[in-house]
């Protein structure tokens, strides 16, 4: 029987999605409520020899691209997650005109630090082999990440050894967008210590490694985040400010860890202003200019 209240059906779906996200169920459920048609996608592009060394590229459907490629590193405590779960992120930024790269990377217990950071750097280094040949695409990226992915993104921005090792040293990081990350990484934490057991000194600590060469940075964090507490963002903001690096921070009241990334999905943007804040930041810094 046909429903005469389709909006109630949509509301029920959204309430279910919010409930699942709050309950820490797989965030991939968001892909089922994301509208299609704004992009095409090239999937499972190998950038290395291992099965998880593969990436997806989302391209705006109209063929009009911004100058900067958007690179998104997903989270998952370095032991879970998959690029397929974050189609909603690819859709969100392809709709703004960005070619969007989402790489997989190897996970613990198969590997530990720094393998997952090296994998993302390798994907970025190989990226230009798969981009349209116009406008110098791939010469500059907007580097973004959430949770463990934000830690990786911040580490890549702070320590250029990874890009140097993987044919990406000439790629400019035009901006760092770090969402809900553990930037002052607690190496003795139960979900961290085994994955970072070979760390020497501060080599896995973006706060300690930050220099004046860091790119302009946008930090976004939920004040109710109990996975990576907002003190991480506050410490990184303080350090970047001391170094003279342009930094903007948004703290969202009553917002939990997963809600920050979940609200990038178009049906859930009522949860937080993260998508609007990122779009405004990119426009303010003129990082949304088209290829010409």
pLDDT tens per residue across span 213-246: 999 999 999 999 999 999 999 999 999 999 999 9
Report d(CA 17, CA 32) in Å as an integer: 10
Q: For 246-270, what is the mean pLDDT?
A: 95
Q: Which residue has the higher pLDDT, 22 or 243?
A: 243
CA dihedral 103, 165, 128, 114 (to 10 degrees): 10
In this prediction the pTM is: 0.91
Q: Which two tokens stand for residue 130?
A: 């798969």
Identify the pLDDT of residue 133: 83
Give the whole-angstrom CA distance, residue 286 versus residue 292. 15
Q: How far apart are CA 261 and CA 244, in angstroms?
A: 28
Q: What pLDDT is recorded for position 26?
A: 52
For the segment 44-50, the average pLDDT, to the nearest whole number, is: 98
Model pLDDT, residue 27: 65
E strands, the chain, in order: 39-46, 54-60, 69-73, 100-103, 140-146, 172-179, 217-222, 247-252
CATH classification number, 36-284, choose in 3.30.420.130, 3.90.79.10, 3.10.290.10, 3.40.50.1820: 3.40.50.1820
| pLDDT at residue 285 is higher than 60 | yes
Residue-range domain boundaries for the chain:
36-284
Predicted confidence band of residue 31 (pLDDT cuts 50, 70, 90):
confident
Please tell me the predicted confidence (pLDDT) of residue 3.
33
Q: Which residues pair with 59 in a beta bridge?
A: 40
Mean local confidence (pLDDT), 183-191: 95
Q: Tell me: the pLDDT tens digits for 83-136?
A: 999 999 999 999 999 999 999 999 999 999 999 999 999 999 999 999 998 788
Closest CA to 30 of 268, 241, 215: 268
**β-strands 100-103, 69-73: how paired?**
parallel
110: which residues sit within 8 A by CB, 6+ positions away? Answer: none
Question: How do residues 54-83 score in pLDDT, each as one tens digit?
Answer: 999 999 999 899 999 999 999 999 999 999
Please give the share of the chain, as a percent, with pLDDT higher than 70: 88
């Amino acid at each position: 029987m046909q429903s005469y209240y389709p909006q109630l059906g949509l509301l029920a779906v959204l309430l279910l999605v919010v409930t699942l996200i709050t309950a820490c169920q797989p965030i991939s459920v968001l892909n089922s409520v994301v509208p299609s048609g704004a992009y095409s996608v090239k999937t499972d592009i190998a950038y290395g020899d291992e099965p998880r060394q593969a990436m997806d590229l989302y391209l705006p459907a109209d063929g009009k691209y911004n100058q900067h490629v958007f690179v998104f590193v997903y989270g998952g405590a370095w032991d879970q997650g998959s690029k397929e779960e974050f189609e909603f992120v690819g859709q969100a930024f392809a709709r703004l005109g960005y070619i969007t790269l989402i790489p997989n990377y190897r996970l613990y217990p198969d590997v530990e630090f720094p393998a997952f950071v090296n994998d993302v750097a390798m994907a970025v280094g190989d990226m230009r082999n798969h981009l349209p040949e116009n406008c110098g695409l791939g010469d500059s990226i907007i580097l973004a990440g959430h949770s463990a992915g934000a830690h990786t993104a911040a580490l890549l921005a702070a320590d250029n050894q990874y890009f140097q090792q993987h044919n990406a040293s000439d790629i400019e990081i035009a901006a760092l967008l770090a969402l809900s990350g553990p930037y002052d990484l607690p190496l003795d934490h139960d979900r961290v210590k085994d994955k970072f057991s070979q760390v020497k000194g501060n080599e896995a600590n973006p706060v300690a490694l930050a220099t004046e060469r860091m790119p302009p940075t946008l930090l976004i964090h939920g004040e109710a985040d109990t996975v990576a507490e907002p003190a991480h963002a506050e410490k990184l903001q303080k350090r970047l400010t001391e170094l003279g690096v342009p930094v903007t921070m948004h703290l969202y009241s009553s917002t939990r860890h997963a809600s920050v990334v979940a609200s990038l999905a178009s049906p859930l943007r009522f949860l937080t202003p993260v998508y609007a804040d990122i779009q405004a930041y990119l426009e303010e810094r003129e990082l949304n200019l088209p290829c010409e």
